[in-house]
Chain A
Amino acid sequence: MVSEYRSPKSKYYTYIGIAIFSFLVLLPIYILAIIALGDPSQTVAAYYPALIPSKFTLANFIKAFSGYGSVLIAAFYKSLETAFIVASLAILLGYHAAYGLSKLSFKVSSILIALLFFSTMIPSLTIAIPISVSFLKLGLYDSAFGLALAQELIVLPLTVFLMMGALQSVPKQLESQARVDGAGFFQTLYQVIFPLAIPGVISAFLLSWMMSWDEFTFAVILSPVHPTLPILIYFDSTARGDILTATSFSLLVTLPVIVLTIVLSKFIKGSYLTAGITG
């Protein structure tokens, strides 16, 4: 347990810090929302746009999405599919890799982790083209699964790293206890350690999901025919050059991230891990 004395005053400073941070993070989303939902006369067309518009409209959305429906839904679905494959695969592979690494000595595991991150040092653009050639041969080109595999290159090192942290927070003795209590190696891995690593697993899931959701380079090269949502928005905003429809799209991209974060956040907090271990 970490307990340190904190004066009542320092609590206020913490709150002030959180308030400033939240303001900086939330303001762009707020501006995005009011441009998308506010009447253009009060937002993009105004000399001095009001921070709180009084007239709202759905016209921007209707204009953006009308006659676009099926393409948009397909792109949204493709992004969703890719992101869930990326996140699930990252957890599946990352959990086992992280467990193996956590069993090695720190010296060896840190070298391996550094090697893992080596793949993120190569620009996506330079490997995306050879990958697309291979994918064409393998029939993975333009598919959600192929794109997910490529995105795994940038996602997986970070997921492994995050999950190693999660596994370190699981007391070693619980693993021994489970083995003594009759659990086999895999039973221990899935039924004892995994539930205790859930907060870290969920964080890793969320992070890899979001990295895939707005990933651009691999998506634009490996899946141009049936694009993902970010690619569609890019095409749209450059082709049509309409900021009002672009903001509507952006809001559409942002919403699932917020929803998923809120849904999963209850799993992330949890300092109950060490409760069964006293002393």
Chain B
Amino acid sequence: MGNKLELRNISKSYGRTKVIDNMSLEVEEGEFFVVLGPSGTGKSTLLKIIVGIEQPDSGKVFIDGRDVTRLPPNKRNLAMVFQNYALYPNMNVYNNIAFPLKMHRIRYIDRKVKEVAAKLNITEILQKKIYQISGGQQQRVALARAIVRNPSMFLLDEPLSNLDARVRYTARSELKKLQQELNQTFVFVTHDQKEAEALGDRVGVLHNGVFEQVSDYKDLYEKPKTAWIGDFVGDFPINIIDNKGFRPEWAKIGSGKFSMTVSLSESVSDVYFIHGLMDDGTGIILKSPKPFGSGEVVHFSVEKFIEFKEAENPPQAFSSV
């Protein structure tokens, strides 16, 4: 399978702020690619460059092997779902979904709108106004509008972040199912690791305008390339002693050459995460089957760790100490 999307040395600055710094990326056909990063790291800017709303200062964008860098958004045949859905408020649901078909002069509008409405369970609300439907329904309408015309690929800018927690979980699994059904390429931007873990075939972590690591989510957790990734990915930041990083479950409590003073115990389902401080002030979080009281001293050994280097070499996992 060829590359669906390729970014070649993209840079973008707003004034003196460099938002994207010489970034390159390849996304494969049919892949669900997640762009993960804290807010304000240029995730949305990246999508806007791909879709053509923003122009890169330098670099090229290829879609299906074709250089589209200078093409306007309406000539790129991409679909995008914005964070706030950007539904046309003066049109009802039906006309919102039909709009891209009309713009592309595609025939059988009525049949296609109804098909996609049935697929996304919004047939009942087709004649409703945008402000008469719920947030979850708005998200479906925005998705329907995106998939109705069979674009080359899909770009989604945090489409789940405006939903209530309960709706968000169902929407997440529906989205994954939809992508597999369509067998289309999705580029999905989020700051939520759980979404990245659940949805992404590959996850690219954006930091300081570049992808600091691109891999599947499991590797981000187990083999973070940098201390920053280790800190950002996971429920708890990675523990670091002398440039060696280890996850809470990679240490064994009871005996060993390290010790810490417990500050609190946090219960997560049937295990506990023990937060504590070592003598030199380093914060440590360990996984434990039982809780410890505040002030207790816990000894532990590290069974597995990865070494962070100053250089860009990939870190290697060891399994002994």
Residues of A bordering B, CB below 8 Å: 171, 173-174, 176-185, 187, 192, 195-196, 272-279
Contacts and interface: CB of A to CB of B under 8 A. Distances in A.
Contacts, number: 90
A7 to B, nearest CB: 28
A84 B87 CA distance: 34
B87 A181 contact: no
Nearest to A196: B90
Interface stretch (B55-63, B128-136, B180-188): B128-136
A176 B131 contact: no
Contacts of A173: 82, 84, 86
Interface of B: 48, 51-53, 72-74, 77-80, 82-90, 96, 99-100, 103-104, 129-131, 135, 138, 145, 149, 161-162
A279 B162 contact: yes
Contacts of B161: 279
B73 A275 contact: no
A274 B138 CA distance: 13
A93 B177 CA distance: 50
Classify the interface of chain A: helix, strand, loop or mixed: helix
A196 B89 contact: yes
A177 B74 contact: no
Contact of A275 (B48, B51, B78, B89): B89
Contacts of B51: 176, 180
A167 B320 CA distance: 65
Q: Sort A-B residue pairs by CB-CB distance and give the 7 closest, nearest first.
A: A275-B131, A276-B87, A182-B103, A177-B86, A179-B73, A276-B89, A181-B100
Given A187-B103, A272-B131, A180 B53 contact: yes
Given A176-B73, A177-B82, A279-B162, A183 B103 contact: yes
B297 to A, nearest CB: 47
B200 to A, nearest CB: 22
Contacts of A171: 86
B72 A275 contact: no
Contacts of A277: 84-87, 89
A176 B104 contact: no
Given A275-B130, A276-B130, A276-B131, A179 B72 contact: yes
A181 B48 CA distance: 14
Contacts of B48: 176
Question: Residue among A171, A182, A185, A275 with the most chain B CB within 10 A?
Answer: A182
Contacts of A272: 89-90, 129, 131
B266 to A, nearest CB: 31
A273 B89 contact: yes
B73 A274 contact: no
A176 B44 CA distance: 13
B242 to A, nearest CB: 44
A274 B89 contact: yes
A278 B85 contact: yes
A180 B85 contact: no
Contact of A278 (B74, B77, B84): B84
A118 to B, nearest CB: 31
Given A179-B72, A192-B88, 14 more contacts: A174-B86, A176-B86, A180-B51, A180-B52, A180-B53, A182-B77, A182-B104, A183-B103, A196-B89, A275-B131, A276-B86, A276-B130, A277-B87, A279-B84
